[in-house]
Amino acid sequence: MRVLLLVPATPSSGNTTSAERIRNHLIAEGHSCLFLENDELSTRGHIRAFLEANGISAVIGVHLYKVGRLLQGCPVPFGIVFGGTDLNEDAKSAAKLAVMASVVRESRFLVAFTDELKETAVRLWDDSHTKIHVQPQAIITNPTKNFDWRDYLYKAGVPLKPHTLLFLLVCGLRRVKDPLFIIHAFSDWHETHADVFLLIIGPELDPVLSAEVKNCTANMSGVWFVGPLPQAHLHAAMSSSFCLVNSSISEGMSGAILEAMDLGLPVVARTNSGNRSLIHHEETGLLFCTGREFVVQARRLIGDSLLRRHLITGAKNLLETSHSLSSERRTYARLVHLLI
């Protein structure tokens, strides 16, 4: 079967990473699989022309609204993988909700990363439950061996010392990721504990928010905007840091959290349904609701080496039991047959 994998045009996003894994699963099963971002096919007419010109017999789209809206009336069968913001944020718009309802009706299958996302979808479209398959994301990490993270930061002007503890906030700069949520509390903490630094890593997706982030970090102590890193360099940076921070308003299932868990980096995450699907407080990570609570949890992580080791072990066990690559491959190998 010749399958098109269509993803939102968002650089360095979890949606893209998920789609790349799905593509590799399908190729391993003997299917031919093309991979495109939706800015390359920006209208339904473009989609139809591309399908016909390339002999595409099925489509898998990632993100119910951003990609699904282009698949309405699609002449070949398609399935949709929920992204997270589609159900958590786009569903708040009546116009977008109507579009997504149409896509749900037309789709052969729907994939949710968590039971909570499935429940959200069923509340929105009660007749969708038979189409929805829950498959947690798997994860692959590949840190490069020739990237010196601390040297990179030193050359970028970050005044590190040998004992500096690096907290990483990894996200594309957009509102739902809320990168400003903890930086005031973190900067205040840094004023009395100069050995902690917060580094924001990711592409500038929202120009207005990006300007706010750069302005804030330029005028606060202990907080730096690093910008994007190639994935292998990012994984190396994670391996050489103290903690991953997630401050998102909502999440589907954070790829950065899964990557950190795989690399043995403890996670301190803001409470939301997506993060709670991965972070069991004091077992696989630590949760917070406010900037002050973040500082409390971060202090615990610094002061309690037994807790740190416990979280790392718990997170590794979670990946082994619930996020295996082989399970993900079996699921998509089965689902693609629903598109025949």
Q: Where are the domains of the chain?
A: 2-138+324-339, 149-322
pLDDT given at position 85: 87
Strand partners, 285: 281
Q: Return d(Cα 227, Cα 213) in angstroms, integer.
A: 11
Kindly report each contact of residues 289-293 with a partner whose C-beta sits within 8 Å and lies 24 or more positions away, as own/partner.
290/185, 291/181, 291/182, 291/184, 291/185, 291/186, 292/185
Q: How many alpha carbons lie under 13 Å from residue 32 in its C-beta half-sphere?
A: 6
Three-state SS string over 135-157 comes to CCCCCCCCCCCCCCHHHHHHHCC
For residues 15 and 10, give the distance between their C-alpha atoms in angstroms, rounded to a whole number: 8
Rounded Cα gap, residues 17 and 37, in angstroms: 12
114-139 tens-digit pLDDT: 999 999 999 999 999 999 999 999 99
Phi and psi (nearest 5°) for 14?
-65, -30
pLDDT < 50: residue spans in the chain: none
Q: What's the pLDDT score for residue 17?
A: 83
Q: What is the CATH number of domain 149-322?
A: 3.40.50.2000
Torsion angle of C-alpha atoms 258, 260, 263, 268, degrees rounded to 10: -120
The phi and psi torsions of 74 (rounded to 5 degrees) equal: -60, 135
- Report pLDDT digits (tens) over 138-180: 999 999 999 999 999 999 999 998 899 999 999 999 999 999 9
CATH code linked to domain 2-138+324-339: 3.40.50.2000
Distance CA 144, CA 105 (A): 44
Hey, how many other C-beta atoms are within 10 angstroms of the C-beta on 53?
8
What is the model's pLDDT at position 13? Answer: 64
Rounded CA-CA distance 72/50 in Å is 15
Phi and psi at residue 188, to the nearest 5°? -60, -40
Whether 149-322 and 2-138+324-339 are alike in CATH topology: the answer is: yes
280 phi, psi to nearest 5 deg: -95, 110
In DSSP terms, 7 is beta-bridged to: 37
> Residue 43 has what pLDDT?
84
Distance CA 232, CA 25 (A): 21
Q: In what order do the strands lie in the sheet with 223-227?
A: 223-227, 196-201, 165-170, 243-246, 267-270, 286-288
Quick one: pLDDT at residue 30? 92
